[in-house]
Amino acid sequence: MWSSRLMFIMAAAGSAVGLGNIWRFPYIAGENGGGAFVLVYLGCIFLIGVPIMASEILLGRAGRQSPINAMRDLVAHSNANPLWQAIGWMGALAGFMILSFYAVIAGWAMSYLFQMGSGAFTGADAAQATTAFDALTDDVGAVVGWHTLFMAMTIAIAARGVGAGLESTVKILMPALFFLLVVLVIYSAVTSGKFTAGLSFLFSFNIEKLTWNGVLMAMGQAFFTLSLGMGAIMAYGAYMPKDTSIISTAATIALLDTVVALMSGMVIFPLVFANGLETAEGPGLMFVTLPLAFGQMTGGAFFGAVFFLLVTFAAITSSISLVEPAIAWLIERLKTTRTKAALVVGGLAWLMGLGSAFSFNVWEDLHFVNGMTFFDLMDYVSNNILLPLGGVLIALFAGWGIDQQITRDQLAVSPGVYQIWRFVTRFIAPTAVFLVFLLAFF
């Protein structure tokens, strides 16, 4: 069990804050034209994300096991349809898919840690930064090597268990990351000369640039960044102390997560405009813009290395939450040790990850549906389909399927707040997600 409410917040925020905020949010927002996308994203976080996060935490804490077995017991206890158990299984699948590309991108960040530290970017211009990024992703050996190292670290920490490794890591590193982001925002504001252009890209409501697929991506990003829809938060909820308020905790986590994402955008977009780069640069956006900024800064090699170190840690505190549901289940099911379970889960995700590692080099021209590479496909299917679907099923189960007394006891809020949560969970969140699916796909 987490030692306190603060530790649960730290761990859940550690899961939520990761590459999704610093790497994925800016590039997805950039690809979808900024402003309107960001607004839809914020709407999804607070209207759909927070109530669903509350549902996930409460199911986890009521079940007190791995998501798969928690769902089995809650279904049995509530005399609900056994099909609800699909939530647990789908979640484990989504977890594998996400981790498989997550570890590859985290590997890039680790490589940048060392490149920054060696002063490779000192005084670099936009063309050099772009070339350096392409050189890394083209290098299969390097990409697979870093991917392997990141996965090994994830396995090692997950094998020690959620409490031991995690609490101490998150307690120090998350505030440090936050502090460095503040420094970067100030740097971007003072030196880029394009701070207002960056802000207006992020916050002006340019509806004509947004497509229905963009709306779907905003929703997918909301689920991804909050770690929702696959049981990660449910697995963490299983270790949450009984007397902690679920709804206010969920709101706090969402707020922290959102601030980090927005700050990251406020660092990156002014730099994009100042250096004549494309907002729709894609997955390389952060890896091209930030080294540029550090390259111009006094002491930039040092701060750059520290920054990528913190990004790596933010990624690890997220990746261990991606493996936790599957590990917890393996331990219960096969009565095996945590170490063995972590090795099996991490090994499988590593194997799938090779596909994403190859997507930027040897499999560059291998396209699946709609011209998507293996990486694109994993990312699209997990974030835009499996997570929202998993999230809706969680909401529907918490709203309709489960014994209502359990939700009342777990949430322990005033009748008014409870009714609001229940209404959003039963009607608003599911309708919104299905509407977006419908509009985006048809």
Name the residues that contact ligand TRP, by CB under 6 A.
Answer: 15-16, 18-21, 98, 224-225, 227, 230, 232, 318, 321-322, 387
Which residues lie closer than 8 Å to 164 by C-beta, 6 or more apart? none
Going from the C-alpha of 200 to that of each of 23, 36, 203, 294, 338, the distances in angstroms are: 20, 11, 5, 23, 48
Q: How far is the CB of 261 from ligand TRP (least distance, A)?
A: 8
User: 49 or 300, CB closer to ligand TRP?
Assistant: 49
Q: How far is the CB of 93 from ligand TRP (least distance, A)?
A: 12
User: 224 or 273, CB closer to ligand TRP?
Assistant: 224
Residue 17 structure tokens: 């804050």
Position 202, amino acid: L
Position 423, amino acid: F
User: 246 or 301, CB closer to ligand TRP?
Assistant: 246
Residue 4 structure tokens: 């306190």
Find, among 245, 223, 312, 241, the residue nearest to 14 by Cα. Answer: 312
Q: How far is the CB of 197 from ligand TRP (least distance, A)?
A: 26
Determine the Cα–Cα distance for residues 126 and 115; give it in Å rounded to an integer.
16
User: 25 or 437, CB closer to ligand TRP?
Assistant: 25
Which residues lie closer than 8 Å to 319 by C-beta, 6 or more apart? 18, 99, 102, 103, 106, 150, 154
User: 274 or 323, CB closer to ligand TRP?
Assistant: 323
| H or E segment and range at residue 77 | helix 67-77
Q: How far is the CB of 42 from ligand TRP (least distance, A)?
A: 15
Which residues lie closer than 8 Å to 15 by C-beta, 6 or more apart? 227, 232, 233, 236, 317, 318, 320, 321
User: 32 or 318, CB closer to ligand TRP?
Assistant: 318
Q: How far is the CB of 181 from ligand TRP (least distance, A)?
A: 14
User: 32 or 130, CB closer to ligand TRP?
Assistant: 32
Q: How far is the CB of 260 from ligand TRP (least distance, A)?
A: 9
Determine the Cα–Cα distance for residues 101 and 353; give it in Å rounded to an integer.
6
Phi first, then psi: give them for residue 337, nearest 5 degrees: -85, 160
Q: How far is the CB of 19 from ligand TRP (least distance, A)?
A: 4
User: 107 or 295, CB closer to ligand TRP?
Assistant: 107
Handedness of CA 169, 170, 172, 173 (dihedral sign): positive
Determine the Cα–Cα distance for residues 246 and 58; give it in Å rounded to an integer.
7
430 neighbors 392 (Cβ within 8 angstroms): yes
Q: How far is the CB of 317 from ligand TRP (least distance, A)?
A: 8
Find, among 233, 213, 210, the residue nearest to 223 by Cα. Answer: 233
Q: Name the closest residue to ligand TRP (Cβ).
A: 20
